[in-house]
Amino acid sequence: MIDASDQSKDGMTTAASARDVLAVNGLEVVYNRAVRAVNGISISVQAGEIVALLGPNGAGKTTTLRAIGGFASHENARIAAGTVVFNGRDVTRLRPERRARLGIGIVPESGKIFERLSVGEHISAMSSWSDRQTVEQVLSMFPRLRERSAKLAGLLSGGERQMLAIAMTLSLRPSVLLIDELSLGLGPKVVDELLEKLLQIRASQQVAVLLVEQNVDKALEVADRCYMIAGGQIVTTAPAAELRGRPDVWSLLLGQDIGHHAQ
């Protein structure tokens, strides 16, 4: 049974449980002092969960993610209201560097890596902000990166870039992994491979994952729970199992036809 949304505008959801790695309460984000891109969103993610944030373009998913990571201001956006609580600690006002060190890892859109550095240099950099053991662990999950060690990161294929981006963030030993549009611009086989890795990661590291995705179908394959977002607000939240393979329901909830993703 899909339960229709009962999230009130001020966003205070049912009490955040102690097992929440991440809890966002009543988040409101405003662009350029005019556009309210996020209008009262509350999300919770527990350890070891994969939670998907789904919705059409411009719904506010990426903005939410950036606000959690602390990067809203880079896009001239401001958190107007609400809090971000990480492991019980209010991080809403913390600088992004601090959040990264606390364990909020973000993998931005389009696999952002350092194009002018070689893969090997990325690995070396990872060793500087982490320990050998962790880096080894991460690399063993992405053996292809080691093979590409000498290559300039800018010359990697789309899937490899994404892998490197994830590896970079993983090396920080995050407790929560924020992933923005993993599948963007990648072919289905590559996306499947990456999602496989996600499951591996969840299994081996008990990392909580918050996944922002336009590709509803793929996201639901790996997610435990999902939130559907449209127009800056949460339309509904449900276990992924209930929504899998039901594009008619997605369209109903989101008010538009996104069924074409389900191929």
Partner 1 sequence: MLTSFVLPALLLAGLYALISLAWVAIFQATGAFNLATGSFILLGPYLVQEFATQRGLPLLLAIPIALFLSAAAGVLTYQLMLRPLAGRPLLAPIIVTLGVSITINALVQIFWGAGSRPITDPKVMGVLLLSEGRQVPILNLVAIAASFAFVLGVLALTRFTRLGILMRASAENVLRAEQMGIGIHRMASLGWGIAALAAALAGLTYAFQNLASPDLALLGFKGLAPAMLGGFQSPGGALIGSLVVALLETGAVWIWGGSVREVVPFVVLLVILLVRPQGLFGKPTYLRV
The three-point CA angle 107-75-79 to 5° equals 90
Place of tokens 């909580």: 208
Judged by CB under 8 A, the residue of 2, 114, 149, 158 near partner 1 is 114
If one asks whether residue 31 binds partner 1 (CB under 8 A), the answer comes out as no
Stretch that binds partner 1, among 51-59, 127-135, 208-216, 226-234 (CB under 8 A): 127-135
Stretch that binds partner 1, among 34-42, 43-51, 83-91, 105-113 (CB under 8 A): 105-113
Residues 85, 68: contact at Cβ < 8 Å? Answer: no
Judged by CB under 8 A, the residue of 14, 17, 57, 128 near partner 1 is 128
Distances (CA, A) of 228 to 42, 137, 199, 243, 254: 12, 34, 21, 10, 7
Residue (114 or 246) nearer to partner 1, CB: 114
If one asks whether residue 169 binds partner 1 (CB under 8 A), the answer comes out as yes
Judged by CB under 8 A, the residue of 36, 78, 112, 246 near partner 1 is 112
If one asks whether residue 263 binds partner 1 (CB under 8 A), the answer comes out as no
Give the contact letters, 85-104, x = binds to partner 1 (CB under 8 A), - = no. Answer: -----------xx--xx---
If one asks whether residue 172 binds partner 1 (CB under 8 A), the answer comes out as yes
Q: Which residues contact 161 (CB under 8 A, 6 or more apart)?
A: 110, 111, 113, 153
If one asks whether residue 64 binds partner 1 (CB under 8 A), the answer comes out as no
Q: Which residues contact 185 (CB under 8 A, 6 or more apart)?
A: 110, 158
Residue (25 or 64) nearer to partner 1, CB: 64
49 vs 217: CA distance, rounded Å? 18
Beta strands at 35-46 and 20-31: parallel, antiparallel or unpaired: antiparallel
Residue (96 or 231) nearer to partner 1, CB: 96
Q: Which residues contact 99 (CB under 8 A, 6 or more apart)?
A: 69, 70, 86, 91
If one asks whether residue 74 binds partner 1 (CB under 8 A), the answer comes out as yes
Residues 36, 59: contact at Cβ < 8 Å? Answer: no
**What does the binding site for partner 1 look like in residue numbers (CB under 8 A)?**
69, 71, 74, 96-97, 100-101, 105-106, 108, 112-117, 121, 124-125, 127-129, 168-169, 172
